[in-house]
A and B are shown apart, each in its own frame.
Chain A
Amino acid sequence: MESVKFAETLIEELSIIVDTPVGVDTDLLGDAGLDSFGTMQIIVFLEEQYGIQVLDDQFNINDFASVATIARWALPMISAIEFIE
């Protein structure tokens, strides 16, 4: 998975979820107001879009602090799926 493409897709989805423009380093939890409900939306999006399984009890809220933060843990999982497939 190309990281730029992943970031663009995630930014597009996040901008809809939080209803405000989002960039790679936007503070999602502060400036963008991403709440627990939105976090769940992101998890569902990643699972359905990329086929990964997010074991959310292994994460804390800071793992959703920005697009860059999400990419840091999500991209390796997505790459592993693509490798298997």
Chain B
Amino acid sequence: MRANPKAVCVTRFRPDCKQLLFLYQGGAGMFFMPPMRFLRLSGANKRNLSLLRDPGANYYHGELHPDCPNIEATIEQQRQIKRQCTQATEFYCTGTSMGGYASMLFGHYLAADIVYAFGAQSQISSTLVDPALTIPPEHRDISLLLANWNGRTRYRMYYSEGFEPDRSAAQRMANCPGVELFPVPGKTHNVFKEINASKLLRDLFPPLEESTWWSR
């Protein structure tokens, strides 16, 4: 699959890789760092990946692209990518801030194996999005969505323990099935600011199987 003109989604498939990563950009189009840096540090660039962004910063609920006019169509577009990546048997979602929210939302619908949400919001207030948008209650409050667990997805929420908005957003999710909280040292929204981001991200995703062509 190739990138679409003026795309909001770019996919890159690796024929021999069984992992598919869905990555969701934050409101500033970042992952608390430039996307390419995040891809490199996490090793995402060595796996099948789908990178989605929301230029309108409406928590992925507005029109992202003519092919994704609303959240239902965007969910279906993400499912389509999952179906197209036939070599993948493991599915992961990740993102930061608004993208962290999106990773939980789409992770639920995609029945991902693990969601890695960094500094994620767990509620959308009307001030954060276009007020004209109709957003279902279970999307406005992601704890309502995750209360109806899909039976598969594990949600790992990383947040700066000294940053109250993110701590509150994570702690209110603590009793949702499948959710684990990972407080990290820091006082800002940027989870990676006061920790060794390279070390955390390097070991984030399960290791790829060793390439064995030389040892057969």
Interface set, chain A 1-55, CB cutoff 8 A to B: 16-17, 19, 35-37, 39-41, 43-45, 47-49
Decide: A37 near B12, CB < 8 A? Known: A44-B2, A57-B40, A57-B45.
no
Closest chain-A Cβ to B4's Cβ sits at a distance in Å of 9
Contacts of A16 in B (CB 8 A): 5-6
Contact indicator A37/B45 (Cβ below 8 Å):
no
The secondary-structure label for the interface of chain A is helix
Q: Using a Cβ–Cβ cut-off of 8 Å, how many residues does chain B contribute to the interface with A?
A: 19
Contacts of B2 in A (CB 8 A): 44-45, 48-49
For A61, the chain B residues whose CB sits under 8 A away are: 34, 36
The residue that B29 contacts in the complex, of A37, A44, A56, A57, with Cβ under 8 A, is A37
11 A-B residue pairs with Cβ-Cβ distance under 8 Å, sorted by A, are A16-B5, A17-B5, A19-B6, A35-B29, A36-B34, A37-B25, A39-B36, A41-B7, A44-B3, A44-B10, A45-B2
B residues with CB within 8 A of A:
2-3, 5-7, 10-12, 25, 29, 34-37, 39-40, 45, 51, 53
A residues near B (Cβ < 8 Å) are 16-17, 19, 35-37, 39-41, 43-45, 47-49, 56-57, 61
